Structure 1
Amino acid sequence: MAGYSSLIRDSKPRVRETSAPKRAGLTVNDLYEHLKEMAVLYTIRPGERVNELELAERFDVSRTPLREALNRLVAENLLTFVPNRGFFVRELHRQDIFDLFELRRSIEASAVQLAVERADVKDVRALRKFWKDTMKHKAQAPAAQLVARDEEFHVRLVALSGNNEMVRTMYGINARIHFVRWIDLEQRGHDAFAEHLDILDAIEARDAKRCRELTETHITWRMEEIAKVVDAGVVRLFSR
């Protein structure tokens, strides 16, 4: 999936130092991708109003395509819109993150059970190779790259179910929890990554019960864990 994952270049969530490209004919899709990256990484701080005039000048576009791109992000719950006030960056609330992880756990646990029934062995083994290759270079890889690769693993895991709606939902969830998972990886390291291969083992063994148990354990976050990561993220955002 082209988008924010491929745009991240270093290991720290921060404002990009390079200016946005200014070129004639910037499409709504182009704007959407740039603005999505800003929303996902909280380039504009949580709760702050989006300055449409500043963005229009920065990207050298009129307000019409800019608003169309912003409205797409509202539909994806990456921004909020308040009538007569404008667009705002979503808040970083503990309960919202907790709810998203519950949703993710539910979707992935159901998806792996379907994968036990439907997945082609070649696809499972290709995903295993992808993750082993990732782990070979994890010590040198920046956190941004590892989070992106982990997101790709989980999307491909869900895709083994053969259910495209589950895959689409996963993309949306990943975008909304991306920043929190980035902060968590920087704090805790790679401990949870080892469980990925266990899940694939269970799929190949066609063991639905073990698949679900491993997946639920892998994704479950307690509220106190989320609170620590969200608090660390807020400190990071408001100290930069």
Structure 2
Amino acid sequence: MASYSSLIRESRPRVRETTAPKRAGITVNELYEQLKAMAVLYTIRPGERVNELELAQKFEVSRTPLREALNRLVAENLLNFVPNRGFFVRELNRQDIFDLFELRRSVESSAVLLAVQRADPKDVRALRKFWKDVMKSKTQAPAPELVTRDEEFHVRLVALSGNNEMVRVLYGINARIHFVRWVDLEQRGHDAFAEHLDILDAIESRDLERCRALTETHITWRMEEIAKVVDAGVVKLFSR
């Protein structure tokens, strides 16, 4: 199965990568990508301190590039830094996840309204084909891969707005809720996936109100739903 980093790479905003000298066969950007995958998937359990010495040995790098990569993850709210104590994996906090879903709903609802006005029909058709292809193989694909493909759909949906900053914001949100959505997919199945094509229908017909209503309904989570999935995620993490 492809890694989180490799699957999401094609859908993230295009940014210029910094040039970094190789240290023992790995660049700072490559190190950052691997550490980000660990943070997104909670390879280290929530609330635990990051063992910098262990990671430096694992990736055969010095502390300087390791710190650079870890600080980038702090800036993206994927890790926490406590002065004089070090880096810590973010907690699975119900309120934080709820807030992120509210933010995602706001961003995507605004983006689809712009997409109704701006979307190129060719891009809408391409996105429709992409999602139909995903659905053909959904029963064979593992949950983490399906979640990543779903994230790609939503990133491309927001990109129909023509607003690159909305895409960047969504990309950051996706990383922080990826694990929770993976757990939810394993519990609920693929029920919500059918709504994707309805949203594209509304964009193609330039139906602004229907498009907004469909998007908000598709993304809205209640706090009690968040609580159940977060609790299930904690169980999953501490039982593996």
- TM surpasses 0.5: yes
| Number of residue pairs matched by the alignment | 225
SS of the residue corresponding to residue 123 of structure 2 reads helix
- Code of the residue aligned with 1:106 in structure 2: it is S
In structure 2, the residue matched to 1:49 is 49
1:135 paired to 2:97: no
- Code of the residue aligned with 2:140 in structure 1: it is Q
- Code of the residue aligned with 2:114 in structure 1: it is L
Asked if the contact 2:50/2:87 (under 8 Å) is kept, the reply is yes
In structure 1, the residue matched to 2:15 is none
- For the residues of structure 2 that align with 1:111 and 1:3, how far apart are their CA atoms? 28
Asked if the contact 2:5/2:34 (under 8 Å) is kept, the reply is no
SS of the residue corresponding to residue 210 of structure 1 reads helix
In structure 2, the residue matched to 1:20 is none
* 1:31-76 deviation per Cα after TM superposition (whole angstroms, max 9, x unaligned): 1001000000000000000000000011000000000000000000
Q: CA RMSD in A?
A: 1.4
Q: CA deviation at 1:6?
A: 2.3
Unaligned runs of 5+ in 2: 9-22
Provide the identity percentage. 87
Asked if the contact 2:39/2:89 (under 8 Å) is kept, the reply is yes
SS of the residue corresponding to residue 87 of structure 2 reads strand
- For the residues of structure 1 that align with 2:206 and 2:172, how far apart are their CA atoms? 28
- For the residues of structure 2 that align with 1:3 and 1:208, how far apart are their CA atoms? 37
Asked if the contact 1:183/1:233 (under 8 Å) is kept, the reply is yes
In structure 1, the residue matched to 2:17 is none
In structure 1, the residue matched to 2:76 is 76
- For the residues of structure 1 that align with 2:70 and 2:97, how far apart are their CA atoms? 22
In structure 2, the residue matched to 1:149 is 149
Unaligned runs of 5+ in 1: 9-22
- For the residues of structure 2 that align with 1:81 and 1:209, how far apart are their CA atoms? 43
- For the residues of structure 2 that align with 1:139 and 1:235, how far apart are their CA atoms? 25
In structure 2, the residue matched to 1:123 is 123
Asked if the contact 1:3/1:33 (under 8 Å) is kept, the reply is no
SS of the residue corresponding to residue 140 of structure 1 reads coil
- For the residues of structure 2 that align with 1:168 and 1:7, how far apart are their CA atoms? 17
- Code of the residue aligned with 2:54 in structure 1: it is E
- For the residues of structure 1 that align with 2:61 and 2:4, how far apart are their CA atoms? 21
* 1:14-37 deviation per Cα after TM superposition (whole angstroms, max 9, x unaligned): xxxxxxxxx723111011001000
Asked if the contact 2:94/2:230 (under 8 Å) is kept, the reply is yes
- For the residues of structure 1 that align with 2:132 and 2:184, how far apart are their CA atoms? 21
Asked if the contact 2:116/2:208 (under 8 Å) is kept, the reply is yes
SS of the residue corresponding to residue 88 of structure 1 reads strand
- Code of the residue aligned with 1:98 in structure 2: it is F
SS of the residue corresponding to residue 81 of structure 1 reads strand
1:222 paired to 2:222: yes
In structure 2, the residue matched to 1:30 is 30
Structure 1 7/208 Cα, relative in aligned 2: closer, same or farther at 3 Å? closer
- For the residues of structure 2 that align with 1:55 and 1:151, how far apart are their CA atoms? 28
Asked if the contact 2:121/2:204 (under 8 Å) is kept, the reply is yes
In structure 2, the residue matched to 1:87 is 87
- Code of the residue aligned with 2:181 in structure 1: it is R
- For the residues of structure 2 that align with 1:202 and 1:145, how far apart are their CA atoms? 27
- For the residues of structure 2 that align with 1:96 and 1:37, how far apart are their CA atoms? 20
Structure 1 94/201 Cα, relative in aligned 2: closer, same or farther at 3 Å? same
In structure 2, the residue matched to 1:196 is 196
- For the residues of structure 2 that align with 1:126 and 1:217, how far apart are their CA atoms? 24
* 1:74-133 deviation per Cα after TM superposition (whole angstroms, max 9, x unaligned): 000000000000000000000000000000000000000000000000000000000011
